[in-house]
Amino acid sequence: MNVFSAFKANVEKEIEFLVANGDLPNGTDTSRISVELPRDPSHGDLSTNAAMVLAKPAGLETRDLAETIAERLLTVESVESAEVAGPGFINLRLANNFWFQQLDNILKAGTAYGQSDLGQNRAVNVEYVSANPTGPLHVGHARGSVVGDVLASLLAKAGFAVTREYYINDAGGQIDALARSAFLRYREALGENIGGIPEGLYPGDYLKPVGQELADREGDKWRDAEEAQWLPFVREFSVAAMLDLIRNDLDALGIRHDFFSSERELVEAGAVDKVMETLQADDLLYVGTLEPPKGKLPDDWEERPQMLFKASKYGDDTDRPVKKSDGSWTYFASDLAYHQDKYRRGFPIMIDVWGADHGGYVKRVSAGINALTGGEGKLDVKLCQMVRLLENGEPAKMSKRSGTFVTLRDLVDAVGKDVVRFIMLTRKNDAPLDFDLVKVREQSRDNPVFYVQYAHARCHSVGNMAREAFPDADLTTEGLRRADLTRLTESDELALIRSLAAWPRMVEAAAEAHEPHRLAFYLYDLAASFHALWSKAREEPGLRFVIADDEELTRGRMALVRAVQTVIASGLEVMGVTPVDELRE
RNA sequence: GCGCUCGUAGCUCAGUAGGAUAGAGCGCGGGAUUCCUAAUCCCGAGGUCGCAGGUUCGAAUCCUGCCGGGCGCACCA
């Protein structure tokens, strides 16, 4: 519950009264009523569109109705004034005590503030990272990882029962290529000169230790064996090694999944065959010939009949192949099995985080889920655009240990986990992101990580100052709850409380929209308000948080500072960023 | 050619459930500054929200068409 929905309930109650009173017709629909923060603070504390939404269906004049509603709203507790403005908004001014109560709520709840029951404990599955287990994660994965992880935390904060899932694509041809690459490194470890790594295999050095370990454990027993003999073993061994590598990388970013789902296991358990039987039974499979793609024709295009899924029946542009030319299932086929499995494990709400280059894939998977769950399963795919690494505006020339790309590990080593996590959320997921390795270490206002962390540190530091000024005062959070908040009379202070009180609503809105980046922007704005108040006190000493000869006022203001600190910490917690108490080097 | 996605200040981007006079940072112009914790602060200029229609009491936001950028486009994952 947040102040807005709480007040909406009040408005609805008064509308019911007006209906009972005959001022509004029976069956008046209140669902479109909203209670908002007015854009311009001088308009009041809260604002509702009730009259504008209800007037027309009721056949009433908007402003007349607004006056009627406004009059009723005056009877609501804490409402000091209700004025009709503009095209029919009702602006409410609330007693300061209302806001002091919000402040106390923050201190009482601590960083749990903002926790919501919006999700009603409904199960949500967030699948993210899901990189092929063929090598270390790179910078692009870092973005999807953070977006997925924070979205999961956000949903948990909003009251959903969240499962974080990683789908291991360990069944395709790229895994054989991995095994062959590892086998080469194995022969190399046994002293053989392997020359260059052939085209199509993975050249990265990260496979050297895998080859070495194979040699250490297996000796030369596989060296002269046929591929068919060593492949299964080496495949399993190297996939396990790659997953360890990936898990390590994710650990460095503070990411841990609840569930790892293996494509290979699904396939081996016959899940794909079963899903195809289901589709067959529903008459959704047929053998047909697809039109060649328009535009550039692939070199090896050949027209041939294929087994197709009727994706077009569920909103896709065309039907989609489920079998390859060699008779094996396509990746899409196992993806259908995977999502069906996920649904059956109890997740009607599924969120997948993918790279934007997979955008063309969304419709067919949604179509598949639709077909397989009778429309019950809902998939939302978050597509993440590219990350461009820069150094002072120039393309970064970071050392590339992997040989071909900058790894997630390189990035975390260079700037730290917290910076990576925060910066990855400073853009909407579907907008390209510039990550400037130099700027993110700057201590200035245009570095959002620093700016937000600094606000938190400054709160902490103000606490120290207050303790020095009043060594005997009770400045614990519990103690501050007994401070005389009515001493907070400055408009800037009250404005700050309003921003803080918007946090629970922010959590709910961001969770509903599946947009974790909103957290970063909210925290930046909050930090800016706090810094602004601080700066203002340089010119107006009466605004300072610590007032030497007024302990009670200082305690009131410390309650506000503690609340700012708490909400920032709460936000950073959701983002998986550690709040710092000081920034001194 | 089709699909997805984006198009907001000179630049990089927000815009909270369709709400009031569209915001921030950088840059630019002007001013303040031995300051409770420094990493500055304040003020100002700057906009046809890509274009054109439509829905609505009300559109940057929803719908349609066009223009422009990015991504993808049988079987690879």
Which residue gives the smallest C-alpha to C1' distance to B5?
A: A430
Rounded percentage of chain A residues whose pLDDT exceeds 90:
70
DSSP type of residue A35 = E
A392 and A461: one domain?
A: no
Measured CA to C1', the nucleotide nearest A56 is B57
Which residue gives the smallest C-alpha to C1' distance to B12?
A: A434
According to the model, what pLDDT value does residue A305 have? 87
Residue A19 has pLDDT above 80, yes or no: yes
Predicted TM-score (pTM) of this structure: 0.95
Q: Distance from residue A518 (CA) to nucleotide B66 (C1'), in Å?
A: 32
Measured CA to C1', the nucleotide nearest A520 is B14
* A33 domain-assigned: yes
A407 and A491: one domain?
A: no
Q: Distance from residue A427 (CA) to nucleotide B13 (C1'), in Å?
A: 8
C-alpha angle A166/A167/A173, rounded to 5°?
140
| Strand pairing category for A378-384 and A349-355 | parallel
Among candidate residues A74, A94, A114, the one where a domain is terminated: A94
Measured CA to C1', the nucleotide nearest A317 is B3
Among candidate residues A70, A94, A118, the one where a domain is terminated: A94
* A580 domain-assigned: no
Cα separation, A102 vs A38, whole angstroms: 18
Q: Distance from residue A269 (CA) to nucleotide B24 (C1'), in Å?
A: 53
Q: Distance from residue A12 (CA) to nucleotide B57 (C1'), in Å?
A: 21
The count of structural domains within chain A is 3
A420 and A454: one domain?
A: no
A60 and A23: one domain?
A: yes
Measured CA to C1', the nucleotide nearest A358 is B72
A476 and A457: one domain?
A: yes
What is the mean predicted confidence (pLDDT) over A143-162?
Answer: 96
Nucleotides of strand B lying closer than 7 angstroms to a protein CB: 1-6, 12-17, 19-21, 23-26, 35-42, 56-58, 70-77
A485 and A561: one domain?
A: yes
A562 and A539: one domain?
A: yes
C-alpha dihedral sign at A194, A197, A199, A202 = positive
Which among A97, A175, A93 is positioned nearest to A132, based on CA atoms? Answer: A175
According to the model, what pLDDT value does residue A280 have? 94
Could you tell me the CATH number of the domain that includes residue A495? 1.10.730.10
DSSP type of residue A293 = P
According to the model, what pLDDT value does residue A401 have? 56
Which residue gives the smallest C-alpha to C1' distance to B71?
A: A357
Residue A199 has pLDDT above 80, yes or no: yes
A501 and A551: one domain?
A: yes
Local structure of A116: helix, strand or coil: coil
* A63 domain-assigned: yes
Measured CA to C1', the nucleotide nearest A62 is B57
A430 and A456: one domain?
A: no
Which residue gives the smallest C-alpha to C1' distance to B40?
A: A535
Phi and psi for A307 in degrees, rounded to 5? Answer: -80, 125
Measured CA to C1', the nucleotide nearest A546 is B36
Residue A107 has pLDDT above 90, yes or no: yes
A372 neighbors A328 (Cβ within 8 angstroms): no
Could you tell me the CATH number of the domain that includes residue A46? 3.30.1360.70
Measured CA to C1', the nucleotide nearest A38 is B20
A424 and A486: one domain?
A: no
According to the model, what pLDDT value does residue A406 have? 83
Neighbours of A487 (CB within 10 A): 17
Here the tokens at position A308 are 């197709």
Q: Distance from residue A527 (CA) to nucleotide B34 (C1'), in Å?
A: 26
What is the mean predicted confidence (pLDDT) over A210-234?
Answer: 95
Q: Distance from residue A392 (CA) to nucleotide B28 (C1'), in Å?
A: 20
Which residue gives the smallest C-alpha to C1' distance to B35?
A: A538
According to the model, what pLDDT value does residue A296 have? 63
* A417 domain-assigned: yes
Which among A584, A566, A486 is positioned nearest to A526, based on CA atoms? Answer: A566
Cα separation, A523 vs A455, whole angstroms: 10
Measured CA to C1', the nucleotide nearest A34 is B17
In A219-290, where do the E strands start and end?
259-262, 285-289
Cα separation, A521 vs A34, whole angstroms: 23
A566 and A455: one domain?
A: yes
How many residues are given for chain A?
A: 585
| Domain containing residue A461 | 448-575
Mean pLDDT, chain A, rounded, equals: 91
Which residue gives the smallest C-alpha to C1' distance to B26?
A: A446
* A379 domain-assigned: no
- Amino acid identity of residue A411, one-letter, is L
pLDDT, tens digit, 9 for 90 and up, residues A303-340: 888 899 999 999 888 899 999 888 889 999 999 999 99
A463 and A420: one domain?
A: no
Cα separation, A503 vs A260, whole angstroms: 33
Q: Distance from residue A467 (CA) to nucleotide B38 (C1'), in Å?
A: 20
* A241 domain-assigned: no
What is the mean predicted confidence (pLDDT) over A7-29?
Answer: 91
Q: Distance from residue A355 (CA) to nucleotide B66 (C1'), in Å?
A: 29
C-alpha dihedral sign at A147, A111, A411, A170 = negative
What is the mean predicted confidence (pLDDT) over A285-300?
Answer: 78
Q: Distance from residue A47 (CA) to nucleotide B62 (C1'), in Å?
A: 23
Measured CA to C1', the nucleotide nearest A302 is B74
SS (H, E, C) A375-409: CCCEEEEEEECCEEEEECCEECCCCCCCCCCCEHH
* A493 domain-assigned: yes
Among candidate residues A65, A94, A123, the one where a domain is terminated: A94
Which residue gives the smallest C-alpha to C1' distance to B20?
A: A86
Q: Distance from residue A160 (CA) to nucleotide B76 (C1'), in Å?
A: 36
ipTM field: 0.92
Cα separation, A559 vs A463, whole angstroms: 10
According to the model, what pLDDT value does residue A311 have? 93
Q: Distance from residue A144 (CA) to nucleotide B48 (C1'), in Å?
A: 37
Cα separation, A579 vs A573, whole angstroms: 8
* A555 domain-assigned: yes
